[in-house]
Each structure stands twice: as structure tokens, then as C-alpha cells.
Amino acid sequence: MWAMPTAAALRSNDLTLRVSEVFASIQGEGVTAGTPSVFVRLQGCAVGCAWCDTKYSWSPTGGRETTLASLMAEVTAAGCDNVVVTGGEPLEHPAFAPLVAALKQLGRRVEVETAGTRVPPEAPVDQWNVSLKLAHAGVAESTRLRPEAIERLRDLDAWFKFVVATPADLAEVMELQARYRLPSERILLMPLGMRRQEQETLTPAVVDWCRERGFRFSPRLHILIWGPRRGV
């Protein structure tokens, strides 16, 4: 059973983390799309998706080093109640659980964006947003689909987001849904593409697939508004 560490324990931890960027924006996708949020992007991801738009976050030694206390000051200054911990792959970061604990101690609501490739540690996360990777990510199935991690996240009532473009992608989603017994009401489909035009072209088909299967549609607001820009 997870227990909230005391403030003294967190302070005495004197933890350092490697952070790619911290910025305030709106949540761009998923069930809380549109929510004012501060994003904490942690360094490090070993998944290696071909179309990844945050390759600068892959190296665990990249970005900048900060302390947990400094990071909490940055989050406080950003002034949003909702914090999105993202990456990289945040579950690969050694300070993930203490970071979530510190954010909760600050009184923040915590969402986590993960590829679902690691079993999550005990941590008081309010909302898990799991973006399982399909074959079009160009990553070996043994790397992108880890049954023990997916099943644990499913049991934590995670939301499962899939970026899709073709009927073959939809068929893959259906296969994964059956394989891991993912509830339809917890699945979201989002159109593939890093440009507004691509999103707009694909959206009608993706909405139809959601209607047919009982999935949710999610826009990708950050792309519609800003395109492939960093830190927005």
C-alpha cells in the first residue's frame, strides 16, 4: 500500500532529476483535453518510435538537471492545478514516484502520459494516459507491448489512446483490445499526423470508427493550434 512521504522525507531526499522542459499550456489530447496544465517533461525514453516528435527527450543524460525542490517551485510559478508528467517515457525515470508524491503534496492533480511499456510503481497518480504503440511506430512488438504493464495499467482504470490513420490501424486496436481486455469506454482514437491538414483530413474517418466501436474521439489540439512546435 502506497503511503504519502512526509515533507521532511521528501526534502531530505535531496533528489535530482533530468528534465527536458517545463511549460504551461492546455492538455492537448485525451479525456481532459483543453484543461490548463503545466507539463513536466522528463528525460529518457528507450522505446524509439520512428515518428516520435520529442526525440530530444530520449537521452536519459540530456535536458537539464534540477532538484525536486526547484522543480516544485517551477510548477508553483506556472500556476495550474493540473500537472501532466510526460516524457520521454516517465516510467523509465528513477525519480518518477517521488516526483508524483511531491506534486500531490503541493496539492496538484497529476496526469501521466506513458507508452505503457513499464509496470507502474505505486504512486498517487490521478489519471493514467496510456498511448500504446501500433506497428506503424516501427518498434519491435516485444518492446512496445508489455503484457504485465498493460494489464496493470488497465486495472488502474487507465485511458488508452491510439493514434490511427488506416483501417489496418483500427484492426490492430481491436486486436489489442481483445488481447488485453481493454474496456471500449476507456479507449480513445486520435488521428495520426503532425500537421493540421493531416488531422483535418483523417478526422471524419476516425470519428466514424469511434461511433461504430463505442470508443471516444480525441482531438490533438496542440497540433491543430500550433503544429509541430516544441514547448506548447
List contacts with ligand SF4 (CB under 6 A): 45, 47-49, 52, 54, 57, 87-89, 115
State the nearest-atom distance from the C-beta of 87 to ligand SF4, in Å: 5
CA distance 55 to 165: 22
Angle at 208 between CA 139 and CA 191, to 5 degrees: 35
State the nearest-atom distance from the C-beta of 214 to ligand SF4, in Å: 26
Task: Rank residues 131 and 177 by Cβ distance to ligand SF4 and give the closer one.
Answer: 131
State the nearest-atom distance from the C-beta of 107 to ligand SF4, in Å: 28
Task: Rank residues 101 and 150 by Cβ distance to ligand SF4 and give the closer one.
Answer: 150
What count of other Cβ atoms lies within 10 Å of the Cβ of residue 14? 9
Task: Rank residues 40 and 45 by Cβ distance to ligand SF4 and give the closer one.
Answer: 45
Task: Rank residues 5 and 48 by Cβ distance to ligand SF4 and give the closer one.
Answer: 48
State the nearest-atom distance from the C-beta of 50 to ligand SF4, in Å: 9
Whether the CB-CB separation of 222 and 232 falls below 8 Å is answered with: yes
State the nearest-atom distance from the C-beta of 187 to ligand SF4, in Å: 18
CA distance 39 to 18: 14
Task: Rank residues 5 and 60 by Cβ distance to ligand SF4 and give the closer one.
Answer: 60
Instruction: Kindly give the pairing relationship between strand 16-26 and strand 64-67.
Output: antiparallel
Query: Which class for 163: exposed (0-12), middle (13-18), buried (19 or more C-beta within 10 A)?
Result: buried
Angle at 230 between CA 226 and CA 232, to 5 degrees: 55
